A and B are shown apart, each in its own frame.
Chain A
């Protein structure tokens, strides 16, 4: 059979032209980067999850195939090991609450700024960028001292001075689980607020000011304007920030790593899924890369599903408007 009957020569010609074009070079670079930094690591993880790899002994284990064993182990631990159970409970609570703080906090700040005197609020908004700009170690250290379970801890110092407590309380280790959760939500919530705030602020600034003036003339209060005009018009941005933050919260562990390592929060109730993967793969004594890879693969699947659901729930498909009606 001649080749031209499979690929029409016209299509082939078009393809050849595309390969030679500037655009293909540009696209090739992007594809290359995606492959190097995303696809290849995922493939390696998936592969590793089917091997009994441990202690990074690649020569010895990487060639052995154990089927779904790592996955069985993962679900077995999830069902039976209390500390793994607590990790997943913590992940759910941490992601849900921090997400709420991130999105609602960012939205409230952006809207408050909109209603308040612009200049003063501009400075205030910059303040919220500080957690983002501060190096992770320094930022974590600040909150380490803030919540420290001794009289040098800021909170304890204040409560003691006010005479509300007689001896320092250990919030992160003593009040389980909510004390530990409160700290990790607080610290990460603060980091994420600036992101939503910036997205929402720029979106609000793009809303024609006449819409708000019209509503005011019609008798709308700030609350009415927020509820009936700003929030509906920011729908797409809220959807975007929510999805984005959800996915990054599922995978973030840098602050948590330090807070747990320094002993400020309880290990079981300060560890989330992604930190658990890190610990399982790298922490001395565990070093079970096969199990970690399986947990990682499941995290990718769960993130994808959750991301898809949020987009669906918030009506991503409706964003693509039907064509303009005939006039």
Chain B
């Protein structure tokens, strides 16, 4: 059983660049964890810390109960796949896959057996005699996977292994990889900056930004209940819409004022808004959680003007302007809209997330933290 645990891990590079700070993360045995964040956020650094290539400046790393913080990479038994696949150009596919096994001084007959079986699993057994430069991107990616899996690692670490593949191939490999991980039941950490990949494959997603983990949860948790504006804006395509609102009171009930629109506060936020006593909030609404109506409903709709309509085939993206800022609405209905036409947006109130403009945290997160202090 190998779970991976990072406890207060910080990595400061020579010259003072902070790679990651105070990372706390547990990846359960057999779990598929995606580490998702924009470029330069510290994803690779985290992965290299787990692999043992970097030593943490502070904090500890555990594999199961074993403290591996000080162990060199070779004693950790991890398989690593890189974005550029890092195949040895002077070795044939067979020798590439056999490389980690040969270093372990495994008998050559056993090596042959293992290489062939892992190659068969990844459907590259016909390519063993080729050099990496004779392979397509997708084939090279499989060879890199095979090399990482041949040594039967306890933990599989993947650093953006698909970002050099074209979009169509990426989607088919995505499903295949997920399936493979399930079958092998190997603890996997998958680094990506592509939110769709993370949502599609992972059991849980850890979102990382500027070296810190901002949220950990299942795909539906991080998608539906973003803890910060960053998470809402990073996940989803198109991402969450944000509208600035002032908090007003009508007959002692809090309401949201967005430009000339008055909107009721969602039930689950009423008490929080009152308790926190905020004057300003950011209203977060997913594009698919808004309907379009031609008549206003008091306290329930927001007035908007159509800016552009983007028919995408299966769905239509409507770009609209609300009080000077743009929002996007995804609708499955094929509706006829003119540019500059007045429409009324009807959000699903139970899906709305409210954020504090100062800290950019969701109100429930802010409240929890204030309670703790």
**Interface positions of A (Cβ within 8 A of B):** 208, 210-211, 213-220, 224, 228-229, 232-233, 235, 321, 324-325, 327
Contact = CB atoms under 8 A, between A and B. Distances in A.
Contacts of A208: 84, 86
A144 to B, nearest CB: 43
B73 A216 contact: yes
Interface string B108-148: 00000000000000000000001001111001000000010
A233 B133 CA distance: 14
B89 A233 contact: yes
Given A217-B53, A217-B80, A224-B103, A325 B151 contact: no
Given A224-B103, A321-B133, A324-B133, A219 B73 contact: yes
B92 to A, nearest CB: 12
Nearest to B77: A219
Nearest to A214: B86
A208 B100 CA distance: 18
A284 B57 CA distance: 71
Contact of B99 (A210, A215, A325): A215
Interface string B36-55: 00000000000010011100
Contacts of A321: 133
Nearest to B136: A327
Contact of B51 (A217, A228, A232): A217
A219 to B, nearest CB: 4
Interface range, B side? 20 to 34
Contacts of B99: 215, 218, 228
Contacts of A327: 135-136, 139
B74 A218 contact: yes
A216 B52 CA distance: 9
Given A210-B86, A213-B53, A232-B90, A218 B133 contact: no
Contact of A216 (B74, B79, B139, B151): B74
A152 B365 CA distance: 81
The 6 closest A-B pairs by CB, nearest first: A219-B74, A218-B100, A210-B86, A325-B134, A232-B90, A214-B86
B104 interface: yes
A235 B99 CA distance: 19
10 contacts: A214-B82, A216-B74, A217-B52, A219-B100, A224-B103, A228-B88, A233-B88, A233-B90, A321-B133, A325-B130
Contacts of B9: none
Among B48, B104, B134, chain A packs the most CB atoms within 10 A around the CB of B134
B82 A210 contact: yes
Interface in B62-109: 73-74, 78-80, 82, 84, 86, 88-90, 99-100, 103-104
Contact of A213 (B79, B80, B139): B80
Given A216-B53, A327-B135, A211 B100 contact: no
Nearest to A322: B134
Contacts of A217: 51-53, 73-74, 78-80
A216 B80 CA distance: 10
A228 B88 CA distance: 9
A327 B139 CA distance: 9
Contacts of A214: 80, 82, 86, 147
Contacts of A229: 88
Contacts of A324: 133-134
Contacts of B51: 217
Contacts of B73: 216-217, 219
A233 B90 CA distance: 7
Nearest to B95: A228
Contacts of B52: 217
Contacts of B100: 218-219
A218 to B, nearest CB: 4
A232 B131 CA distance: 14
Given A218-B74, A218-B103, A210 B130 contact: no
Interface string B227-250: 000000000000000000000000
A34 to B, nearest CB: 35
B320 to A, nearest CB: 45
